[in-house]
Amino acid sequence: MQDAEVPAWWQGLGLPGLIDVHAHFLPQDIQDKVWAHFDRASPMIGRAWEIRYRGTHDERVEHLRSMGVRHFSSLPYAHKPGIAGYLNAWSREFAASVPECLWSATFYPEEGVATYVGALISEGVRVFKLHAQVGDFDLADPLMTEAFGLLEDAGTPIAIHVGSGPVPGAHTGPEFLAALLARHPRLRVIVAHMGAPEYRRFLKLAETYENTMLDTTMVFTDFFNADGAYPADAMPRIAALGHKILLGTDFPTIPYPYAHQLESLERLGFGEEWLRAVCWENSARLFGVDQ
Closest CA to 120 of 83, 79, 162, 91: 91
Domain spans in the chain, listed from the N-terminal domain onward: 3-285
Residues in the chain: 291
Cβ neighbourhood burial of 52 (10 Å; 0-12, 13-18, 19+): middle
Closest CA to 158 of 136, 180, 134: 180
pLDDT per position in the chain (291 positions), as tens? 999 999 999 999 999 999 999 999 999 999 999 988 888 877 778 788 899 999 999 999 999 999 999 999 999 999 999 999 999 999 999 999 999 999 999 999 999 999 999 999 999 999 999 999 999 999 999 999 999 999 999 999 999 999 998 989 899 999 999 999 999 999 999 999 999 999 999 999 999 999 999 999 999 999 999 888 999 999 999 999 999 999 999 999 999 999 999 999 999 999 999 999 999 999 999 999 988
pLDDT at 174: 98
d(CA 132, CA 172): 6
pLDDT at 49: 84
pLDDT at 96: 98
CATH code for the domain defined by 3-285: 3.20.20.140
d(CA 280, CA 17): 7
